[in-house]
Amino acid sequence: MRVFWRRHSNDLIYLTPIQLENEQLPGDKIRMLYCDSKGNVLTAIIENSVYELARSHAEQLQHTNTDYAILSVEIAPTESVALAVGINPEQVTALEYILGHAVERGEVPDVLKKYIKEIIRIGEPKREELRRLHKWAKNHTYSGKTPEALQRLSYYPEDHLEVTIPIYKAQCRYPLIILKRLTPDERTSQDMQRLLTLDNDGDLVIVRMRLETIDDAERNLEEWERINNLGGCIICARHQNGFAINHMEVSELQRKALDSIPKDFEKTGSIHQPISADTTTVLSRAKEYLPWSQGKAV
């Protein structure tokens, strides 16, 4: 069995996103400044969703007034998971100095390197749990029937869907997870249904969909759940000049996580909701499920 905690592990501390001069990255990528357990300051290009996932976890710590650091924890060779961990006031101060030196000088003084090791070790107890969750998600999130699933895709013209981009976003990222029907407002015509959805960045987005379209999608999902004795969710993706609707298998815990989002929305009225690890797994699977749909609505 591989022993992951070595004298110098492959775990990292993410410091801050940076942009190199004249570098242009795809919209779903960012360049991250980080330091390893030896105190080396390095950069790497990572998926933006990886960092946003860790930030969503960090927001949950902030709700309890807990300071945090964002780690990249190795769970298997070449595989790591971003994680936010709570840190004490002394470590907070040290991390601020580490960030300053990393940005300005590209290196960390020896006197601060002990704090890097301390902070990285905080993620060690989480490693086995993260490995189990990662393995479970791969094996159980969906049944692997991708060819059959793709045959179930239903395609619709552009005018069957209206997307209301949140004011704080320039665009939303597909695919969308449909969470719940909402009551109509003054701008909703009789043949349209307002829906609360979650885009692939983990942000709540309200859309309007043709009533007959969402009716068909829900009927198809219910029939599929009954025949297969499984739980699922409806996903909506961009496709050429229109969009496509499909359903995807989710576990019971993931279904509960998705169901909790509209409840929090109704309680607070806020479109900024922290998302759980189960929800993030669903978003990640949806992107893999319909890889051609990772476009943006402008």
Buried b (16+ CB within 10 A) or exposed e, 5-34: eeeebebbbbbeeeeeeeeeeeeeebebbb
* Cα end-to-end span (Å), the chain: 48
For residue range 131-155, list pLDDT tens digits in order: 776 665 555 443 333 334 333 444 4
Q: What is the pLDDT of residue 162?
A: 55
Checking if the pLDDT of 17 tops 80, the result is yes
Percent of the chain predicted with pLDDT > 90: 22
Stretch among 3-7, 44-48, 69-73, 227-231 having the lowest mean pLDDT: 3-7
Element (H, E) at 11: none
Mean pLDDT over residues 76-101, rounded?
89
Percent of the chain predicted with pLDDT > 70: 75
How many angstroms separate the CA atoms of 261 and 254, rounded? Answer: 11
Checking if the pLDDT of 8 tops 50, the result is no
Q: Residue 252: CB partners within 8 Å, gap ≥ 6?
A: 231
Residue entry with tokens 């009533």: 211
How many angstroms separate the CA atoms of 59 and 120, rounded? Answer: 19
Q: What is the pLDDT of residue 138?
A: 53
pTM attached to this predicted model: 0.48
Q: Report residue 159 as tokens.
A: 């005018």
Neighbouring C-beta atoms of residue 105, cutoff 10 Å: 10
Q: Tell me which of 206 and 272 has the higher pLDDT.
A: 206
Q: Tell me which of 15 and 204 has the higher pLDDT.
A: 15
Distances in whole angstroms, Cα of residue 258 to Cα of each of 35, 60, 193: 34, 17, 20
Checking if the pLDDT of 4 tops 70, the result is no
Mean pLDDT over residues 212-227, rounded?
87
Sheet holding 204-210, edge to edge: 154-157, 242-250, 231-239, 176-182, 192-198, 204-210, 161-164
